Chain A
Amino acid sequence: MKIGVIDYGMGNLYSVEQALLRLGCEVSITADPNVLDQMDGYVLPGVGAFPDAMNRLRDSGMDLYIKQIEKNNKPLLGICLGMQLLYEDSMENGWTEGLGILTGHIQKFEEQDAQQNRIRIPHMGWNPLSFTHQPAWLQDLDKEDSTHVYFVHSYLAQKTLQKEVVASSTYAGQFVPGLVQKGSITGMQFHPEKSGPFGKYLLAKWVEQVNERSGQK
């Protein structure tokens, strides 16, 4: 099965690539539409700042390509900043319009909690996910299992739709959408490739589902 990692010059793609290879995927890291057209599923990675990432997506025409992926109902997984880009806009370093596939806005963590305590930013480390939905591709999820995943971020999705948030975490009293989904488009705010056994499980399940979809065609 072929996974296209969308390369727009941001971040460390090596770990994501290795994780996909471990799961037996063929991986192409590219921004070439002709190569991407041959893929069964897509990963939108990203580490860095939202405005830079959006500019690079636009410059490479990948913004339109990603919207096409959604229209064609093909699977795409956005990771960390890659998930945030799927939302309407972001306030990171000023206002920037996003891809607008998911409903919600990217904003910075509040710097104080309800008791006026200073919040440590970034939200960095292992936090358990609570699942509010169980999508078809996670049918065998055992909610008794440890659901800890590794987060590193200073901005988060807010004013999201309940139906688009599959699982969330809580940090300093704030609701942190962790795993989000709309149709064939999935987003993970955490790093599944760095999230130990549970991260591996989520990634394996996502890949499995891509495989099933591609087999159905």
Chain B
Amino acid sequence: MLTKRIIPCLDVKEGRVVKGVQFVSLRDAGDPVELAKFYDEQGADELVFLDISASHEGKETMIDVVRQTAVELAIPFTVGGGIRTLDDMKNMLRAGADKVSVNTSAIDRPELIAEGAAYFGSQCIVVAIDAKWSEEDGTWMVYTHGGRRVTKWTAVKWAQEATRLGAGEILLTSMNKDGEKSGFDLELTKAVREAVNVPVIASGGAGNAQHFYDVFNEVDVDAALAASIFHYKETSVKEVKSVLREKGVSVR
């Protein structure tokens, strides 16, 4: 039986992990490769690197980070942030990433999803969706540019369109819940989970191990992602998995 995946996310800027972490065991907590290895040893099922570099040099550095990570890591990892063209995808996948995730660039030019899927296969193409509840529309709307700009897409419609174009997985972040640590957005996640036939990763709102159980139990998502609670050691991948295992959720 397929297990539920726990995915730590690392924000990387100019080759350094931001929201820096104080892991005593690490020589350099800002080194993405060191942190990636740490999470691998903790039992993380997959990792996501989100490149938030603004400069061109930062993006070049990211390719090096990916290459070094591929040397060290024995679990799959996804790279997102600033991937705008098929060439950007090629650079990351050839450097050793297993998947690339696209967000704003796919909204701007949805064909990018189809091009990527045709070239590399759907399994390499993750579409990241940032969604926020809109009272006016009575549903969740998709935002781009790191949550600064609203689009005409509802989360459900965009997830369906992205999948139709060839997305192999949806990484769904609730902007309402992000940073709140009050649990994943179960309603949003459920709406998208039911709308598509590809794996869905829930993101935004994890505050403790129980929240992971809730999202797996109530929504049957395939994976759940968190950043700060792992980085700040409020819980660990190990602890989350042992709680899930006790409650009968199948994990590695």
Contact = CB atoms under 8 A, between A and B. Distances in A.
Interface residues of A, number: 35
Given A14-B70, A14-B95, A47-B120, A194 B76 contact: yes
B197 interface: yes
A125 B74 contact: no
Q: Is the interface of A mostly helix, strand, loop or mixed?
A: mixed
A86 to B, nearest CB: 19
Given A12-B94, A121-B198, A193-B74, A126 B120 contact: no
A42 to B, nearest CB: 21
A150 B2 contact: no
Interface in A180-213: 191, 193-197, 199-200
B40 interface: yes
Interface of A: 12, 14-15, 18-19, 47-49, 118-128, 146, 148, 150, 152-154, 170-171, 191, 193-197, 199-200
Nearest to A127: B2
Contact of A120 (B3, B5, B222): B222
B94 to A, nearest CB: 7
A48 to B, nearest CB: 6
B199 A120 contact: yes
B74 A200 contact: yes
A124 B71 contact: no
B76 A150 contact: yes
B interface, by DSSP: helix, strand, loop or mixed?
loop
A48 B118 CA distance: 9
B98 interface: yes
B161 to A, nearest CB: 18
A125 B45 contact: yes
A148 B94 CA distance: 26
Contacts of B71: 18
B96 A194 contact: no
Contacts of B30: none
Contacts of A153: 123
Contact of A194 (B5, B75, B120, B199): B75
B146 interface: no
B10 interface: no
B93 interface: yes
A205 to B, nearest CB: 15
A16 B93 CA distance: 13
Contacts of B123: 47, 122, 124, 152-154
A122 B122 contact: yes
Interface in B54-100: 67, 70-71, 74-76, 93-96, 98
